[in-house]
Amino acid sequence: MEYIVISLAMPICDFFGAGTCGMYLAREFSKRRGVMVFDTMDEQEPKEDLDGPLLQFTGPNLEQQTKHKGKPNAAYVFSEWKPITEEQKANLKSFDVIIAGSEWNAQVVRDAGFSCAAVPQGVDREIFKPLPRQISKDRFIIYSGGKLEPRKSQDLVVKAVKVLQERHDDVFLLASWYNLWSQKDHYDEVRDLKMIGLPILGHPDLAWHMNQTDVGLFPNRCEGGTNLILMDYLACGKPVIANASTGQKDVLDDSYAMRIVGDDDALVEQMVEGVEALYRDREKMKNMGAEADAAMNLWSWARTADGIERAIQ
């Protein structure tokens, strides 16, 4: 592929999903023919429209986040709206190229009458990888991650874990739910759970904590992308029980994931059943973890950058 210089209008950091994506894309493109980055966390703006391609995240209503445009003007969309509203359709018309973070999200955009490529995000295998279990080896620890909101479905995780803890004294919950926007650290039911809530952590520390757990629960009601924290967890060699109804299904496979679908009650019931199965069969859980580790080698940030370049070219 002939590499092109792409400008990015994205946040650059490692403590929330959009910033992580911007950080790794900037790093990946800089290895090629260069990249111009306008870090939206610092409110930087180009002084004029660009002669080359500009890639930016859309806003909540699928609008431009910068005052200027590129040639072509490209959007990277992670949207949970279905169907897309008339206002969102009008906003998308300002883009020449539309790229979505999952096949599900791309199809939603296509159903609204636009051409859209599906380019999922990647995993940093230098950081997110299997590490030795160092603590709580006598406990069965469930992991849950993502900012605390109904879309991420922590309320369903709480219900499932409560049932499991009533059955097993050694079941604990490790949760990384803190984020920049919502610092509420529990639902009312959490006070009855045996759990540890993690603060905002850098990627190396987060990877270490993921490796101290046994299985991850991701019943997320809707994901526009494949869910970065789900992919990071799989890369640590851990199996997951995950909702396969939206963007997450792109990255799920029966060899390392128990796919769940349905309404809230069905998701809770399937999570309980899935954890019980792995609680009883630790060898199966170990084998699924090994499959997850191997599978995530295919989901590199270089692959993401290549997909974006193909869509723009």
Ramachandran category for residue 56: left, alpha or beta (phi over 0 → left; psi -120 to 50 → alpha): beta
More confident residue, 271 or 136: 271
**What pTM, to 2 d.p., does this model score?**
0.93
Q: pLDDT per residue over 242-278, tens digit each?
A: 999 999 999 999 999 999 999 999 999 999 999 999 9
Least confident of 31-40, 169-178, 233-242, 303-312: 31-40
pLDDT value of position 48: 65
Half-sphere exposure of 9 (CA within 13 A, CB side): 26
pLDDT-derived band at 68 (thresholds 50, 70, 90) equals confident
Token pair of 124 as six digits: 């940093």
Please determine, for residue 2, whether its predicted confidence score (pLDDT) is greater than 70: no
CA distance 126 to 138: 28
Q: pLDDT per residue over 88-97, tens digit each?
A: 999 999 999 9
Which residues neighbour 204 within 8 Å (Cβ) at sequence distance 6 or greater?
127
CA distance 218 to 145: 8
Contact between 61 and 91 (Cβ < 8 Å): yes
